[in-house]
């Protein structure tokens, strides 16, 4: 009797939990190159991606495009911007499964537009 009950519990847990184990957040298919960043951001937030904020205690010390993205446009997920060339800026989102979604934008002095994106695993935190 106990063996049958235990087997039933194990099977139930596998059926319920297995689809969640190893699952990953999907990148919305509606993302497209050259779409306004504001639209891409709303789409990602709606699909469950979470912004990965930079240290906002230092936001008054930001300069250039990064200051514009964080302070003026209110996108604290931006981590850095190149100072030359096309002026690429990089934003960071994450999910609950240990993945991070990196978005790169261009045209950041006007309306930021999505240029490129990819998913990578969250780096493991170093233990001292």
Domain residue ranges in the chain: 27-121
Q: What was the pLDDT predicted at 5?
A: 47
3 burial via Cβ count (<10 Å: 0-12, 13-18, 19+): exposed
Q: Determine which helix (DSSP H) or strand (DSSP E) holds 3, and give its type and residue range.
A: helix 2-17
Tens of pLDDT, residues 115-124: 999 998 877 6
Highest averaged pLDDT of the listed ranges 8-22, 54-68, 85-99: 85-99
d(CA 47, CA 62): 30
Tens of pLDDT, residues 5-55: 444 454 444 444 434 444 567 888 999 999 999 999 999 999 999 999 877
Q: Residue 23, SS3?
A: coil
Does residue 71 contact residue 62 with C-beta atoms inside 8 Å?
yes
| pTM reported for the whole predicted model | 0.74
d(CA 12, CA 31): 37
């Amino acid at each position: 009797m106990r063996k049958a009950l235990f087997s039933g519990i194990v099977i139930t847990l596998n059926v319920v939990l297995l689809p969640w184990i190893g699952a990953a957040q999907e990148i919305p298919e509606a993302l497209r190159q050259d779409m306004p960043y504001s639209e891409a951001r709303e789409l990602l937030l709606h699909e469950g991606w979470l912004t990965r904020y930079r240290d906002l205690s230092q936001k008054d010390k930001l300069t250039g495009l990064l200051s514009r993205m964080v302070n003026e446009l209110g996108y604290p997920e931006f981590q850095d911007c190149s100072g030359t060339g096309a002026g690429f800026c990089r934003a960071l989102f994450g999910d609950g499964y240990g993945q991070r979604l990196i978005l790169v934008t261009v045209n950041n002095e006007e309306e930021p537009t999505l240029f490129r994106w990819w998913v990578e695993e969250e780096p493991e935190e170093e233990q001292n």
